[in-house]
């Protein structure tokens, strides 16, 4: 996962007791990146390892801190340790600060994180753009079928958003991008197609709702039937 630039961690071991004062309870504080705080410069902790490699004609550098825990965790053998990688790319002003519980080569950590975005695009389109993250099912068949349909709909939505022209949201949107969310809003403003040759099983349900209360009249308490004045308006 990617970390904030002001992220700090601790070593999963106690420092040596200096012989004066209270014995240490937490491990040494590790600050991967130098930063400013209230006009003071907080220097970065010296890395445990440093690696360099060439990529596309540029020299990449990675600084690594091993066996860390969260700042509020006391050293314990049962803690889940993780490593922090600060990867410096000459094309960017600030480094990537990544954390992983798996011991990997720095180039592998960088490539894995770069591959997250194309992998997460389809679930993002399926859950956030279509709204399947709000759906709750319990039947065994539906539990398996709902994610399948959501991923298929997310794939279709991403493909159509990429191939269709980008529609601006308003006059202020001068450089619209082809995103699933923008394409979904465009479809939401269109009328349901009546000339399309749809399957007989897919049709608009004309429900009778004229007899149901509307607006604030529908928000009633348990005693609304016995006490009409209890209607919430």
pLDDT of residue 63: 93
pLDDT digits (tens, 9 = 90+) for 53-102: 888 888 899 999 998 999 888 888 888 899 999 999 888 888 989 999 98
pTM: 0.57
What's the residue count for the chain?
Answer: 233
Question: Which segments of the chain have a pLDDT < 70?
Answer: 192-196, 198, 200, 202-204, 217-233
- Asked if residue 82 is part of any domain, the answer here is yes
Does residue 92 share a domain with residue 23? yes
Query: Could you say which of 104, 127, 160 is where a domain stops?
Result: 104
Does residue 156 share a domain with residue 91? no
Does residue 89 share a domain with residue 16? yes
Q: What is the CB-side half-sphere exposure of residue 192 using CA atoms within 13 A? A: 5
pLDDT of residue 196: 65
Q: For residues 175 and 182, what is the distance between their CA atoms, to the nearest angstrom? A: 12
User: Is 36 in contact with 58 (CB distance < 8 Å)?
Assistant: no
Does residue 88 share a domain with residue 46? yes
**Residue-range definition of the domain harbouring residue 62:** 9-104
Number of domain units in the chain:
2
Query: Could you say which of 188, 205, 228 is where a domain stops?
Result: 188
Does residue 134 share a domain with residue 56? no
- Asked if residue 203 is part of any domain, the answer here is no
Q: For residues 19 and 70, what is the distance between their CA atoms, to the nearest angstrom? A: 26
Tokens of 51: 């690696």
Does residue 95 share a domain with residue 20? yes
- Asked if residue 85 is part of any domain, the answer here is yes
Classify residue 230 as left (phi > 0), alpha (psi -120 to 50) or beta.
Answer: alpha
Q: For residues 33 and 52, what is the distance between their CA atoms, to the nearest angstrom? A: 18
pLDDT digits (tens, 9 = 90+) for 141-156: 888 888 888 888 888 8
């Amino acid at each position: 996962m990617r970390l904030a630039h002001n992220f700090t961690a601790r070593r999963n071991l106690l420092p040596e007791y200096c012989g004066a004062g209270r014995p240490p309870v937490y491990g040494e504080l590790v600050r991967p990146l130098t930063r400013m705080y209230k006009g003071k410069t907080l220097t970065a902790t010296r890395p445990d390892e440093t690696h360099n490699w060439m990529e596309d004609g540029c020299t990449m550098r990675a600084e690594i801190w091993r066996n860390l825990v969260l700042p509020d965790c006391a050293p314990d053998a049962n803690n889940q340790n993780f490593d922090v990688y600060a990867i410096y790319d000459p094309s960017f002003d600030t480094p990537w600060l990544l954390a992983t519980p798996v011991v990997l080569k720095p180039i592998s950590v960088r490539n894995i994180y770069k591959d997250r975005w194309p992998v997460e695009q389809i679930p993002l389109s399926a859950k956030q753009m279509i709204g399947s993250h709000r759906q709750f099912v319990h039947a065994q068949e539906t539990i398996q079928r709902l994610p399948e349909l959501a991923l298929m709909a997310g794939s279709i939505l991403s493909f159509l958003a990429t191939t269709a022209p980008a529609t601006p949201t308003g006059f202020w949107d001068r450089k619209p991008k082809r995103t699933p969310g923008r394409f979904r809003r465009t479809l939401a403003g269109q009328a349901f197609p009546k000339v399309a040759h749809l399957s007989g099983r897919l049709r608009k349900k004309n429900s009778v709702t004229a007899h149901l209360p509307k607006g604030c009249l529908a928000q009633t308490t348990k005693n609304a039937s016995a006490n009409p004045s209890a209607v919430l308006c």
